[in-house]
């Protein structure tokens, strides 16, 4: 039985992510159990990880660092053992090298990039960006192929997801920007580097598209 752990570090919409994942779990899923935890013993036996995030970049990282051993445990399992990892919203942003919300702060540095304030070309686009926007394929990634194989979704203007954010991921290497969206200008909707994924959108709030995405993630295995 494979275990998916939703990482509890004192921040994030844990319950809604848990409910969405629990809704799609089945005996046929690669991950057949989901747990909300910050217990390193549970994390070590997990096969997949989700890091939610709500609030500020600096605040979420402070909560992350306040859990002794948590970052080291995840680094061992994600960076060395290469278990599938998904960061959601600020959970994705924390993957970057640095963030500039409420001053400069260091991120985890797992995907090269910075978190900068979302800028629009038209003042009619209000910040924060709250609502539904389309997902556009920018660069392919093995997970995208797997997601497609697990659903009948087409990557066109009808593929929409739900966003709530004021900052966005600016990757230093564009190949890590997998999906983009547009809100008064293009911004990164998803990043991906090997086994590490991050979405600016909230799959747990994105109805059919989001549940399809999460279903693909909990069944995703990296090719050795």
Q: Active-site residue numbers?
A: 89, 202, 204
Long-range contacts of 137-142 (CB under 8 A, 24+ apart): 137/178, 137/179, 138/174, 138/177, 138/178, 138/179, 138/180, 139/174, 139/175, 139/176, 139/177, 139/178, 140/178, 141/178, 141/192, 141/197, 142/222, 142/223
Q: What residues contact residue 191 under an 8 Å CB cut-off, 6+ apart? A: 92, 95, 111, 113, 169, 171, 176, 177, 178, 197, 198
Cα dihedral 148→180→31→154 (10° resolution): -20
Residue in the structure block whose two tokens are 């921040």: 11
49 near 86, Cβ under 8 Å?
yes
Are β-strands 160-165 and 129-134 bridged in parallel, bridged antiparallel, or unpaired? antiparallel
Residue 37, beta-bridge partner list: 7
* Contact between residue 142 and residue 216 where contact means Cβ atoms under 8 Å apart: no
């Amino acid at each position: 039985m494979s275990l998916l752990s939703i990482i509890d570090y004192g921040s994030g919409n844990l319950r809604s992510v848990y409910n969405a994942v629990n809704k799609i779990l089945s005996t046929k899923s690669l991950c057949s159990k989901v747990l909300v935890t910050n217990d390193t013993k549970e994390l070590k036996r997990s096969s997949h990880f989700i890091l939610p995030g709500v609030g500020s970049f600096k605040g979420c990282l402070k909560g992350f660092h306040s859990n002794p051993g948590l970052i080291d445990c995840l680094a061992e399992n994600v960076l060395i053992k290469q278990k599938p990892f998904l960061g959601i919203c600020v959970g994705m942003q924390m993957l970057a090298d640095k963030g500039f919300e409420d001053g400069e702060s260091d991120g985890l540095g797992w995907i090269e990039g910075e978190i900068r304030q979302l800028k629009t070309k038209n003042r009619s686009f209000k910040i924060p960006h709250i609502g539904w926007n389309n997902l556009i394929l920018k660069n392919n990634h093995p997970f995208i192929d797997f997601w497609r194989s697990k659903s009948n979704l087409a990557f066109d203007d009808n593929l929409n997801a739900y966003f709530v954010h004021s900052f966005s991921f600016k990757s230093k290497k564009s190949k890590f920007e997998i999906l983009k969206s547009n809100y008064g200008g293009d911004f990164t909707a998803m990043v991906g580097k090997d086994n590490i994924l991050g979405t600016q959108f909230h799959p747990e709030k994105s109805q059919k598209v989001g549940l399809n995405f999460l279903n693909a993630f909990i069944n995703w295995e990296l090719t050795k």
